[in-house]
Structure formats: structure tokens, C-alpha cells
Structure 1
Amino acid sequence: MATSNQPVTVPTDGSVDDFLAAVPDERRRADAERLRAILREVTGEPAVMWGSSIVGFGSYRYTYANGRTGDWPLAGFSPRKQHLVVYLVGGFEERHSSVLARLGPHKTGRGCLYLKRLDDVDESALRDLIDRTVRVHKGVDRASNRGQ
């Protein structure tokens, strides 16, 4: 089977409202709506569906070392069954360790922040992580890797 070099996760015309309304768990749906408002406010960008399950805000162009390029949201999230997954800048764990220390309960993975409930985390720390991510993706904050 031939593989495509085309990215799978791209902006679509899908309805963010419909996607969030279909989240089965009422608490997760409420957290997703609140997270959408936070991301909209911090990024200054409208919510857009990326693929079938990511709500993204704005976009930036990335280039891998091998020259391959693509587009990805400045920041985004997905209300998964087990967690709210917030998509941030890669390496944010090292870049912003002091902010993560005040965030509250969370897990991390390559550019992903996993939250169980928004009420359990420090919203100002979350906003700070989103803002720092957007600044890095826009090229405004390249030197922000000192754990601040």
C-alpha cells in the first residue's frame, strides 16, 4: 500500500460547535467549552477543526531537519475520553518547568499536556503555557528555554 506525504491533520470546514456538542461526558464537554474560550482569548484566533478531533487556533509553518514542512495550530486541544489534551510547543516540559510546577495535576508527552479536569489546575499557569507556546510558534520567544 502506498503512503502519502500529505498531512492527515489539516484545517477543515467541520463545525467546532457540533464537535464539542457531541462530547458524550457532560463534565468533559463543559471543560472543552471553557478551554475553547481560554484558547480563543489567549491566542486571539478563532477555533477551527483540524482533522476530525482537534480544535486549533491560528497556525504556523514548521520545518523538520530533513526539509519536510507542514502546518499546525499555534495551540489546540482535543477532549479525549481520559483527558483533555492540550497541544503546546514541543519541549515545553523543559522550557517552562516552573510554570508546570504551579499548574497542578497533569501529565506530559511530546508537545502534549494531559489534564483530567480544568477545575484541578491553576488557570493562570495554563494561560501562561498557552501564551508562551504561541510566542514561540510566532518566533517572538525563541530563547525561552531556561525553565522560566
Structure 2
Amino acid sequence: MAKTTWTDADPADFVGAVEHPGRRRDAATLLDLMRRATGVEPRMFGTAIVGFGEYHYKYASGTEGDAPAAGFSPRKAASVVYLNDGISAHEELLGRLGPHTTGVGCLYLKDLAAVDLDVLEEIVSRSYATLTTGTYGKRAAQG
């Protein structure tokens, strides 16, 4: 499997080309929200993830690499916000967020108009801070 890397593609162009109008609107909102939450400009990670900042991970197995410290992807079924420090690290805030579903390190949002954007910004900010304080060695499932 090829390793995903940062590209020179323009995140604003990517967001502007999202086909579904609701996902495109939500992606534009996430672009601004994550800029504020992280204090960094977005870059494309691969072809479908808008990333902010970077963190280095190293697992006990010896596997290591770099990934976005915050990021999102406007998928067909929902917008995905990546929380690589694990969903469990944000349980209290998630209870106040509004309608969402989760995976191990993914927050799925069908409509940003239905969630508390201040709470979402706090979640992203905390996750970003955790991931950028040094080498983050746990998998999201261990969070």
C-alpha cells in the first residue's frame, strides 16, 4: 500500500469542487473552523483529506510516520473530522456537540448546521494540542 503524503493541491479548490452542496458548505465551514482551532493554514493530505499541522507517531511495533494533526474530509455520507488522539478523549464535549456518529478516530457529521460549532472547535483545538506536543505513540483505539 502506498504511503499517503502531503500534496501541493489547493485545499480551497478541493472544497470548491465538492459535488454535494451541503457537504461543500460544511467543508467551507470546517476550513475556517480548523484554521481558528489550530492556528495553521490547511494543506492537502493525499487526494481527499484537508490537513492542518502535522504530528509524528511511533508505535511500539516500530511503525512510525507523519500525519495531519487535525483534518477533515467531505465524504458522500457525512463530513469526517479526524481525531487521531481517539474519540474517547472527547467524550464530555461530544455529549454537548449535537447529532453525530463516531468511529475509533473519526467523527461523522451529516449537517454542521445541527451541531454546536463552538463545541466542535474546542474538540479540534484539544485534539490538535494533544497531537502536537511531541511524539504521539498510541493508536486512536488506545486513546
Aligned to 1:99: 93
Aligned to 1:47: 42
Q: Distance in 2 between matches of 1:14 and 1:112?
A: 23
SS across alignment from 2:133 = coil
Identity of matched residues, %: 46
Aligned to 1:71: 66
Residue 27 of structure 1 deviates from its aligned partner by 1.6
Residue 89 of structure 1 deviates from its aligned partner by 2.7
Between structure 1 and structure 2, the one with the greater Rg is: 1
SS across alignment from 2:95 = helix
CA RMSD between the two structures? 1.5
Q: Structure 2-normalised TM-score?
A: 0.89
Residue 76 of structure 1 deviates from its aligned partner by 0.2
Q: Distance in 2 between matches of 1:90 and 1:39?
A: 16
Q: Distance in 2 between matches of 1:111 and 1:90?
A: 7
Choose between structure 1 and 2 for higher RCO, CA contacts under 8 A separated by at least 6 residues: 2
Q: Which runs of 5+ in 1 are unaligned?
A: 143-148
What count of residue pairs does the alignment treat as equivalent?
135
Write out the 4+ residue segments of structure 1 that deviate beyond 4 Å after TM superposition. Answer: none
1:88 maps onto 2:83 in alignment: yes
Q: Distance in 2 between matches of 1:126 and 1:30?
A: 16
Q: Distance in 1 between matches of 2:99 and 2:10?
A: 30
Aligned to 2:140: none
Q: Which runs of 5+ in 2 are unaligned?
A: 137-143
